[in-house]
Structure 1
Amino acid sequence: MTALGNRRWWLTGLVVVWIAGLVGLTVWSVGHDRATVPEQRDIDLAVTDLERAAGVVYATASGADRAVVLGELQLTRDCRITPVRSGVAAARAVTVYVGDSKAAEAVEAIAAELPVEWAPEQSRTRAGTRVSLHADAGNFVGIDLSGPAVATTLTLRLTTGCRPLDGAAPVGGDATASPAPALLNTVVSALDANVGEPVVRTVACPSGGVAGSWTVPDLSMPDDLPGRLRQAGGEIVHADDAVRAYRKAGDSIVVLPQGEQLSVTVSTSCRGA
């Protein structure tokens, strides 16, 4: 074989090795590199990211002067990734009840306790009439809060944005079907009612264990609601005609009157999980 032929074979072999290496690098990159756009993580992965972040947010939102309620996982199917491609978005909320004139203080405290790598930002408008918070939990999961500075109910909302759906939509939601806390029976019994089958919403706590909210809906409104709730004990966080929120031994009690009925939610804390 001539020198020219040897050179051609050598060049051909070099090109083949280069192509094989490029393909291998591409395959490895797809499986290992961090996603650069939301579309690179489908809704199953996004829900996993969302639930992990929800545990952190729930743990952070709970405090000695705050009552919390964990919301359910919500899936929205009518979002658009592109004008011609539909997808699914996931969201979950943590509702925080605070005392009068405590909204700004609570938002500041929550922002301070969120992971530094989430780059939490809390602010108050120049006129001081509204408070807000934003954080990036990674993998395109955002946390947002915005409300009046005089609000006594704040909502931290976690969202994934629109993601691709590969197969069936995830069921997701609760970390485990944990037994209801004893405090739930104490509160419901004080209202002369039975617990029955509560609605359960839980998350995995960042330090381990499980915490969440147990809700008993559609209870009859008793006479002297404040007096009956005093029998259950707890310190008042906020109380008016729309909501009665308490803290007891690290847990939250939230009672929502609805006409002639009411719902009772007891939420356990990650700090004690």
Structure 2
Amino acid sequence: MSGAVQAGYAPPTRPDQPAPGRRGLRWLVAAAAAWAVLLAGLTWWSVRHDPPTVKEQRSLGQAIPVVDGAVGRLVAAVDGEAWELTPAQLRRGCRVTPLADGATLTRGLDVLVAVGSERALLERVAQRLPADWWAGVGAASGGPRLRADAGEFVAVDGRVVADGRVRLSAATGCRPVDPAYAEPRPAPAVAPELGAALRALGRSGPPPAEVVVAPCPAGGTARTVSAAAGGKPVSLAPLRPLGVAVVDRPETYAYRAGPVAVLADATGDQLRLAASTGCAG
């Protein structure tokens, strides 16, 4: 057979000689794998060593003053209503990045109003919030909804959680948790109005109280002192002489005694009493 190679004919590869295409494919796969490992390593190092470069990466501790200030603004916006600050809720387990856990902090207050006037309250609050928060009330699947932006990626929300009960809140969104972060624990406080309510209801006391505070926009501190006051049944009628009624329902009664809003809630297994002092001026 002639040793000349015919046009259009590729000579066969010897068994000991790898095909050129296979060698290039192996190099491509190896390079892609090395690049993936390098990217994963750089991401791991960046998450643990690089300082925040965008606001979303600011830590939970850095966002707390914004949340606290937003709650103070909400308290000032519900002046004259029957309200109480609710304990902060810290939820861990969200993901800041695929390699870093985070947490979300939510603070807020509950406001009692006449059934049917929930939207009117939300609209009043929206009008009283700072203009640069862009607060507004719209329709949602669960009823009217207030939304606003307190800045630094802190979201303000208002919604109806039950007939005659509106919940206003400020939340951080998922953020890295500071290593030294500790939930704030306000000093114990005494609310004489709680003692007066307990005596009117014939309950012994005072029971252990929980304190929640928020800074007022113009200075000072808003405060709620609350306590469980024993089981039901109970009539809330003896509270009527203690102040000006704001909400009067069979299982929920709220009144104002001077600057203090007092709430009695018998909708759960335990009677709850709360006395709240808001932001003057």
Q: Structure 1 length as normaliser, TM-score? A: 0.75
Q: Which residue of 1 aligns with 2:189?
A: 179
Displacement of 1:50 after TM fit? 1.0
Q: 1:140 aligns with which of 135, 153, 156?
A: 153
The partner residue of 2:126 within 107, 111, 116 is 111
Q: Deviations over 1:193-232 (max 9, x none)?
A: 2223311111121111112211121424475x23311232
Equivalent residue, structure 2, for 1:217: 228
Contact 1:73 1:173 in 2 (8 A): no
**Identity of matched residues, %:** 28
Kept after mapping to 2: 8 A contact 1:68/1:95: yes
- How far apart are 1:116 and its partner, in Å? 0.9
Structure 1: stretches of 5+ with no match in the other structure:
1-29
1:254 corresponds, among 259, 263, 271, to: 263
Provide the rounded CA distance (Å) in 1 between the counterparts of 2:148 and 2:268. Answer: 37
Structure 1 residue 67 displacement after superposition: 0.8
Provide the aligned length of Structure 1 versus Structure 2: 231
* Aligned partner (choices 72, 83, 98) of residue 98 of structure 2: 83
Paired position in structure 1 for 2:15: none
Matches for 1:1-273 after TM superposition, within 5 Å: 36-39=54-57, 41-63=58-80, 66-124=81-139, 130-147=143-160, 151-172=163-184, 174=186, 177=187, 179-193=189-203, 194-221=205-232, 225-241=235-251, 243-257=252-266, 261-271=270-280
**Taking structure 1 as reference, are residues 75 and 269 closer, same or farther at Cα in structure 2, changes over 3 Å only?**
same
Structure 2 unaligned blocks of 5 or more = 1-49
1:10-68: per-residue Cα shift (whole Å, max 9, x none)? xxxxxxxxxxxxxxxxxxxx99xx974311x11111112211211111221232xx211
Is the CA contact (8 Å cut-off) linking 2:188 and 2:209 kept in structure 1? no
Provide the aligned C-alpha RMSD in A: 2.7
Offset at residue 91 of structure 1 (A): 0.7
Judging changes above 3 Å, is the alpha-carbon distance between structure 1 residues 259 and 72 closer, same or farther for their aligned structure 2 residues?
closer
2:159 and 2:116 map into 1 onto residues whose CA distance is 15
Q: Distance in 1 between matches of 2:262 and 2:212?
A: 15
